[in-house]
Amino acid sequence: MKNIKKGELITTGKAKSLYETNEDDFLIMHYRDDTSAFDGKKIESLEGKGTINNKFNAFIMEYLESESISTHFVELLNETDSLVKRLDMAPVECVVRNVAAGSICKRLGLEEGIDINPPTFEFFYKDDALGDPMINEYHIKSFGWATEEQVKQMQIQTFEVNNALKKLFSDAGMILVDYKLEFGDYKGKLLLGDEFTPDGCRVWDEETREKLDKDRFRQGLGDVVESYQIMAKRLGVI
């Protein structure tokens, strides 16, 4: 888009900032180096993370569009910024899991690494103060976080993303373990919003099962940004 100008800062999240633009329907999403885990209890700035995530997200969103999944992504503006459609976000996180890891292991006493077949789906309520509690679709409808149709669409589209990305990662020698998506309304249509980056998914090397995603930060394994770059190189992002 021509002549887009960055306006006022409207939101500062844990890893990204959103700015108004001179067009009401569009926002600038700025990817920062800030990295957080455990609902914001562990925070660090990791040099270069904003840049790699901005490029990673652009690549994935464009790939999803090519697979007929509608997203908020418009275009890359520079190293750390992307232009997106302004969405009315549902305060809900949609998680699909192909392999057991993270919170489901604790919650259900599962061994990390076992296959989940068929892949399973979970909703979480986006509220750091409450620790993003797990919720079900009745909560979403009863408390007005999204409509019945939006709930259905979130489930359908999150699984469509799984079909598209499981293959993309597997063709590059990686396992897509799990991921989190967020959706929002744009003029009556539900679009995939927020980001798809190594901050919001788990990805393992297919051979060694080495963790390449934000678990490196959560678990203090080191080489976090380097690992995001390895993932990006394997997919052809950079």
- Interface residues toward ligand UDP, by CB under 6 A: 93, 95, 102-104, 132, 178-180, 200-202, 214
27 binds, among ligand UDP, ligand ADP, none (CB under 5 to 8 A by kind): ligand ADP
Nearest-CB residue to ligand UDP?
102
Among 30, 55, 86, 180, binds ligand ADP (CB under 6 A): 86
Nearest-CB residue to ligand ADP?
13
Question: Binding pattern to ligand ADP, positions 166-185, x when CB under 6 A?
Answer: ----------------x-x-
Give, as ranges, the residues between 60 and 79 that touch ligand ADP (CB under 6 A).
72
- Cis ω for the linkage preceding 119 (within 30 of 0): no
214 binds, among ligand UDP, ligand ADP, none (CB under 5 to 8 A by kind): ligand UDP
If the CB atoms of residues 26 and 159 are measured against ligand ADP, the closer one turns out to be 26
Identify the bridge partners of residue 29 per DSSP, sorted by sequence position: 18, 82
Least distance between ligand ADP and beta carbon 230 (Å): 23
Q: How many residues bind ligand ADP (CB under 6 A)?
A: 17
- The stretch among 9-17, 46-54, 55-63, 169-177 that binds ligand ADP (CB under 6 A) is 9-17
In the chain the first and final C-alpha atoms are separated, in Å, by: 23
Residue pointed to by tokens 């180096």: 33
27 binds ligand ADP (CB under 6 A): yes
Least distance between ligand ADP and beta carbon 72 (Å): 4
R_g of the chain computed on alpha carbons: 17
Whether 172 and 205 have beta carbons less than 8 Å apart is answered as: no
192 binds, among ligand UDP, ligand ADP, none (CB under 5 to 8 A by kind): none
What 56-62 contacts at long range (C-beta under 8 Å, 24+ apart), as own/partner pairs, is 56/196, 56/197, 56/198, 56/228, 56/231, 56/232, 56/235, 56/237, 57/31, 57/82, 57/195, 57/196, 57/197, 58/82, 59/232, 59/235, 59/236, 59/237, 60/165, 60/196, 60/197, 61/192, 61/196
95 binds, among ligand UDP, ligand ADP, none (CB under 5 to 8 A by kind): ligand UDP
What residues make contact with ligand ADP under the rule CB under 6 A?
A: 11, 13-16, 18, 27, 72, 84-87, 89, 182, 184, 193-194
